[in-house]
């Protein structure tokens, strides 16, 4: 193949990959109409911060972005938190375990350093709401095998949280406190990946 055509193929393939990354995190027309916004831009951690024992963490070797995906390699800290608090909202995202024995957590309305109000992402205990609420049992039967993407959806309004896994309602919990807090992802010694993080704030 002539050098010119080889170069053209490389450029076109590169553009295809870039376009694919953009499409992976792009909001659908319906989501835009409903008021959703992307919480992850597909390229870096803009809008997020790392939290742990240190007062301020600029870099975290266990977290990186590649191919439009947030990749967690493991480690016990730091965790990944939004840089602002949220009150009432609907959150949608996808995740998958890289290996069979995965472990992590999804925080809602948590403190500045995370830790409270965790929806479990541990193998066999997926979906268990680790909070002082009524309801929120684990639903491992609704999860897909390791290596496949799961779709989670959480609607938080007032003291109530409703949780959906892969298109099915898993539970409804009541008694949720506080009225607002941070959203976050936990580093718990296992490799996981996250993508398509979207949020819709519910205004009174």
Q: Which of 129, 102, 114 is nearest to 182 (CA)?
A: 114
DSSP track, 31-46: HHHHT-EES--SSS-T
Q: What is the pLDDT of residue 54?
A: 75
Q: Rg for the chain (alpha carbons), in Å?
A: 18
CB contact at 8 A, 85 and 178: no
Question: How many domains in the chain?
Answer: 1
Res 43 pLDDT > 80: yes
> What are the E-state strand segments in the chain?
37-38, 48-51, 63-66, 69-72, 79-82, 89-97, 105-110, 118-120, 129-130, 150-157, 160-165, 168-174, 182-185, 192-201
Is residue 140 predicted with pLDDT exceeding 90? yes
Domain of residue 38, residue span = 3-201
CATH number at residue 154: 2.60.120.560
Q: Which residues contact 183 (CB under 8 A, 6 or more apart)?
A: 39, 81, 82, 86, 91, 106, 107, 108, 109, 110, 199
- State yes or no: pLDDT of 12 exceeds 50: no
**Cα distance between residue 192 and residue 97, in whole Å:** 5
Q: For Cα atoms 48, 14, 80, give the angle at the middle one, nearest 5 degrees.
A: 15
Percent of the chain with pLDDT over 70: 88
Name the average pLDDT for the chain: 90
Structure tokens at 145: 């095998």
Structure-token pair, residue 21: 């990354």
Res 26: pLDDT:
79
Q: In sequence order, what are the beta bridge partners of 48?
A: 82
Average pLDDT of the segment spanning 9-33: 59
Quick: pLDDT tens for 71-111.
999 999 999 999 999 999 999 999 999 999 999 999 999 99
What is the reported pLDDT for 18? 42
For 154-191, the pLDDT digits (tens) are 999 999 999 999 999 999 999 999 999 999 999 999 99
Q: What is the pLDDT of residue 118?
A: 98
The whole-angstrom separation of Cα 16 and Cα 173 is 43
């Amino acid at each position: 193949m002539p050098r010119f055509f080889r170069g053209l193929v490389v450029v076109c393939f590169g553009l295809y990959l870039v376009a694919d990354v953009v499409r992976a995190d792009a909001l659908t027309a319906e989501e835009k109409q409903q008021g959703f916004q992307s919480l992850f831009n597909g390229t870096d951690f803009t809008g997020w911060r790392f939290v742990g024992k240190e007062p301020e963490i600029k870099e975290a070797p266990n977290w990186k972005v590649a191919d439009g995906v947030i990749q967690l390699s493991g480690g016990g800290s730091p965790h990944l938190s939004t840089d602002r608090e949220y009150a009432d909202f609907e959150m949608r995202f996808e995740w998958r375990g890289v290996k069979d024995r995965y472990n992590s957590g999804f925080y809602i309305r948590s403190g500045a350093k995370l830790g409270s109000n965790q929806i479990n992402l541990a193998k066999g205990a997926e979906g268990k709401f680790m909070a002082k609420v009524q309801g929120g049992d684990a639903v491992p039967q609704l999860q897909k095998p390791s290596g496949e993407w799961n779709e989670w959806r959480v609607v938080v309004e007032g003291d109530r949280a409703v949780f959906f896994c892969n298109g099915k309602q898993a539970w409804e919990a009541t008694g949720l406190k506080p009225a607002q807090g941070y959203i976050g992802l936990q580093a718990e010694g296992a490799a996981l990946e996250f993508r398509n993080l979207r949020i819709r704030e519910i205004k009174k």
